Amino acid sequence: AQTVTQSQPEMSVQEAETVTLSCTYDTSENNYYLFWYKQPPSRQMILVIRQEAYKQQNATENRFSVNFQKAAKSFSLKISDSQLGDTAMYFCAHLNNNDMRFGAGTRLTVKP
């Protein structure tokens, strides 16, 4: 089964600056999907961005973008112009054959 590793348990960034959260995964499959989810203190899991493994172009959603390196099995999330509302837990996830596996999460704090 695939595994997902987030090596940064906690990170902080100053408001308006850029931060990158790391994620690596292990899979033997060629076709799969990758996601970043945000979990604010309200506990609700919110989909931030998704990437299809067969697409080389990195996904972008407003201030959020990814750096997808398929050969390296790396999927990092870049948050530009960080805002106080970005403070949350961020989970990387890998989906294959209806099996979505999550990393342990990175707690991001945006400081004013």
What is the number of alpha carbons within 13 Å of residue 96 lying toward its C-beta?
Answer: 15
Q: Does 91 bind other proteins (CB under 8 A)?
A: yes
Residue of 77, 103, 108, 110 interacting with other proteins (CB under 8 A)? 103
Q: d(Cα 46, Cα 88) in Å, to the nearest integer?
A: 10
State CA 91 to chain mean position distance: 6
Q: Does 13 bind other proteins (CB under 8 A)?
A: no
Q: Does 102 bind other proteins (CB under 8 A)?
A: yes
Residue 39 identity (one-letter amino acid) = Q
- Please work out the total of residues on this chain that contact other proteins, with binding judged by CB under 8 A: 24
Buried b (16+ CB within 10 A) or exposed e, 58-93: ebeeeebbbbbeeeebebbbebeebeeebbbbbbbb
Residue of 4, 19, 23, 108 interacting with other proteins (CB under 8 A)? 4
Q: Which stretch binds other proteins (CB under 8 A): 21-29, 61-69, 74-82, 102-110?
A: 102-110
Q: Does 33 bind other proteins (CB under 8 A)?
A: yes
Site residues for other proteins per CB under 8 A: 1, 4, 9, 33, 35, 42-47, 50, 52, 91, 95, 97-105
